[in-house]
Amino acid sequence: MHSHGMAHTGLRLYKFIARSGQSQSSKRKKFIWKLENTLLAYFSTHFSNRSLFPHMDADHDELPISTGDGTTSVMALFIKGVDNRATLTKNWSSFHKANIKKGCAYAFAFKCASKGLCMVVYSI
């Protein structure tokens, strides 16, 4: 996996094991999304700056999130936090509780579409 950010026309997948409240190894931390036992989801500063912020629209702070099978879809609030990390807030908690189970592996695909950035969560 490379840290060159997302291509404008493609998908880049990032997978992790859902371990609520536990950090990943420091070597992989910049690529891996840490799940918290909170209403928020944070991305690392490096990943946020290189891969997410260039695709965020300052006037449009919503991020469509769907499951890989298309059965669940929400519109989350996606903000740049005070610590320079991308943060998911509104609607993330309910999506997380309903679709992400501890101990299971998931791939997150970020896609740049004509309507902006979107995210698809695949169970793998």
Whether 5 is in a domain gets the answer: no
Helices and strands per DSSP (H, E), number in the chain: 2, 7
For residue 36, the enclosing domain spans 12-123
Whether 39 is in a domain gets the answer: yes
Residue with tokens 């979107």: 118
Whether 59 is in a domain gets the answer: yes
pLDDT tens digit sequence for 59-97: 557 888 899 998 888 888 877 777 777 777 788 888 888
Query: What is the separation of C-alpha 63 from the centre of its chain, rounded to a whole number of angstroms?
Result: 9
Report residue 104's pLDDT band, with 50, 70 and 90 as the boundaries. Answer: confident
Query: What is the separation of C-alpha 59 from the centre of its chain, rounded to a whole number of angstroms?
Result: 19
Whether 91 is in a domain gets the answer: yes
Looking up residue 44, the CATH number of its domain turns out to be: 2.40.330.10
pLDDT at 85 (0 to 100): 72
Whether 21 is in a domain gets the answer: yes
pLDDT at 55 (0 to 100): 66
Average pLDDT over residues 3-15: 36
pLDDT at 58 (0 to 100): 59
pLDDT tens digit sequence for 25-64: 433 333 344 444 444 465 666 666 666 766 666 555 788 8
Taking the C-alpha atoms of residue 6 and residue 2, their distance in angstroms, rounded to an integer, is 10
Whether 3 is in a domain gets the answer: no
If you write DSSP's letter for every residue of 68-106 in order, what string do you get? TTSS-EEEEEEEE-TTS-EEE-TTHHHHHHHH--TT-EE
Whether 7 is in a domain gets the answer: no
Residue with tokens 């997380």: 96
pLDDT at 5 (0 to 100): 37
Whether 78 is in a domain gets the answer: yes
pLDDT at 116 (0 to 100): 74
- Counted domains in the chain: 1
